[in-house]
Amino acid sequence: MARTHHDPPPSSRDGTAGTPDAVPAAALIVNTHSRRGRHHYARAKRLLARRRVRVDASYPMRDPGRLPEAVRHALTAGVRLIIVGGGDGTLSAVVDELAYRDAVLGILPLGTANSFARTLDIPLEIDRAVEVIAGGETAGVDLGRIGDDYFANTAALGLAATLARSRLTGLKHYFGAASYPLAGVVKFLGHRSFRCTLSHHGRRTSYDALDVLIANGRYQGGALVAPDASVASRALVVRIVKGPAKRNLIWAWALRAAGRAPGARLVETVHAASVTIETEPPLPVSIDGEAVARTPVRASVAPDALKVRVPRGFAARHAPPPGHERNAGDRGSSNGAS
């Protein structure tokens, strides 16, 4: 998400030699405030040097709020491969700076959930992630957008947005990825349904909802929540868990955990390139786990907005199936209205 800072730009320059022709000189930006970042910053530099990726500028960032500033500084210096180490919050902080820019993102998954790395099939082991940066391929992938904010994984309202407003830092330190379900149980007890209205493709439909997920990627909090989402589809997947009974939310989660798709009685699913969402009462909206907006909002796909290093064959493996055009999101689909 876009942020403006007036502090002087961070600067710490060093480099190694021998960049392969296919991999330009890089900037390494690591959130050393993240759970794993402070332990893996030096190791990442060594691994990149071993794979002959020349790092022209290094930014160990203990203040996550300055991450966008580091990206802008690297781009201004002419660096076109921006290697970012951290979790989904770190990536969310920098995608606005890289959307539709002549630059490529390399990902070192050093966070708790690493949902966007999972969506892109990037290994979670740092040495294998470096191999992707050095020897993978560059793909153009979609981002989601709400207002002026781009997002890589998901936006949400309902229980997920309530969790985004909670302080999980302490829980994440002790419990890692398990902090998400632990906090979810606590917040679930006081959760209530709300009225949600979607407008898309000239239609306007209202639901009694418990949770709304707007997915560009397939994962949220490290869990597979939108298996039909694709960063190559030019469409967002909007999934509404219907209320008012809170047990519907439990059933929907349980079915997803078991690898089964909830039926239309529990969940409404819409595929659309653009959708307007209104709620009664107005509710906070979280973007990649951070609450940054309130309803009503317009969510849209930003097609091919981000260039990113991915494993070889990623584009071929994630191409839409035969008969499904890349702009199918312009038509949209739904399980039916209620």
Closest residue by Cα to residue 35 from 163, 152, 169:
169
Architecture in CATH of 150-303+319-334: Sandwich (2.60)
Other C-beta atoms closer than 10 Å to the C-beta of 223 total: 16
What's the pTM? 0.81
β-strands 154-158, 267-272 pairing? unpaired
User: What is the dihedral sign for C-alpha 79, 69, 219, 145?
Assistant: negative
SS (H, E, C) 16-49: CCCCCCCCCCEEEEEECCCCCHHHHHHHHHHHHH
Alpha carbons 335 and 338: distance in angstroms, whole number: 10
| CATH 3.40.50.10330 segments of the chain | 26-135
What stretch(es) of the chain map to CATH 2.60.200.40? Answer: 150-303+319-334
Q: Spell out the per-residue pLDDT of the chain, length 338, in tens.
A: 433 332 333 433 333 333 334 688 999 999 998 667 778 999 999 999 999 999 999 999 999 899 999 999 999 999 999 999 999 989 999 999 999 999 999 999 998 889 999 999 999 999 999 999 999 999 999 999 998 899 999 999 987 666 655 554 454 555 555 555 555 555 666 678 899 999 999 999 999 999 999 999 999 888 888 999 999 999 999 999 998 888 887 888 788 777 788 888 899 999 999 999 999 999 999 887 777 899 999 999 999 999 999 999 998 888 765 544 444 444 344 444 43
Asked, as a colleague might, if the bond just before 284 is cis with ω within 30 of 0, I would say no
Q: Which CATH superfamily is domain 26-135 in?
A: Probable inorganic polyphosphate/atp-NAD kinase; domain 1 (3.40.50.10330)
Beta partners for residue 209, in sequence order:
194, 242
With contact defined as beta carbons under 8 Å apart, do 119 and 173 qualify? Answer: no
